[in-house]
A = this chain, B = another copy of it.
């Protein structure tokens, strides 16, 4: 059997993504020889132990990373600065530090200043996830066929970046590299803005008079059901994503708002050509999505 990629891998945070990595590693023995699971929430950590997600359990992240040659941050991105500061003095030379955060400029801003000499920081973002959360929500097949985007920092050891790519490919993902700023713009439109909109429209419905609200729930049509599925995602995770990808998200929101106002204006004035043209265009995007087998 080949050498394991990591002799001692530490997962900091055992929520939906952490538990899915743990489950995927269990299903594929030999990627990580030993898995250390850490979570600041003692209940989550205990639950992870009950589910036998790792080989060791350690509430204190600083202790969890000791002697690890691989560390992956799997907590909401808003917690990264504090965790990086806490674990930095305990990272072993040669260790590769990575993460799964959905925003990459903020992660580099928050983590890089603490990374000690001899440790390689490789920002990564597996684009996978459901609306469920917590250690019980682990899905071992979650990353199969999905993209994991890496935003390597200039000057960081190429071997470390390559090792993180191998890691995600071993879990079934496809990998791609891009700049952090570009990543954040792409994610703002394909993921962060759709979530902001879905959260908002659920609130808008909830604000309707009581009688209508009950019927909103009772007669929820397909469109609204899809929105609420998105909107069921973890509040802390998404709060952190929004404020940590503020610039790109607000730019995309501004573009969307202008377009939505134009559509509303067309509805008000009965500009049927405009409306039909816009719907035709969105159909074409859907078709492109199907063509590249992402739908």
Contact = CB atoms under 8 A, between A and B. Distances in A.
A205 interface: yes
A189 B205 contact: yes
A278 interface: yes
A33 interface: no
Interface stretch (A48-56, A86-94, A239-247): A239-247
A139 interface: no
Nearest to A202: B282
A281 B193 contact: no
Contact of A223 (B195, B202, B220, B236): B195
A27 interface: no
B190 A220 contact: yes
A187 B102 CA distance: 34
Interface stretch (A9-17, A160-168, A250-258): A250-258
A190 B282 contact: no
Interface residues of chain A: helix, strand, loop or mixed (majority): helix
Interface of A: 78, 127, 129-131, 147, 149, 176, 178, 182, 185-187, 189-191, 193-208, 212, 215-233, 235-236, 238-239, 242-243, 246, 249-250, 252-257, 259-261, 263-264, 267-268, 270, 272, 275-276, 278-289, 292, 294-295
Given A198-B223, A218-B294, 7 more contacts: A147-B218, A187-B221, A196-B260, A198-B282, A231-B285, A232-B282, A250-B267
16 contacts: A186-B216, A189-B212, A194-B224, A197-B197, A201-B256, A202-B282, A204-B252, A204-B255, A207-B255, A226-B226, A232-B287, A238-B275, A239-B276, A246-B267, A257-B261, A257-B264
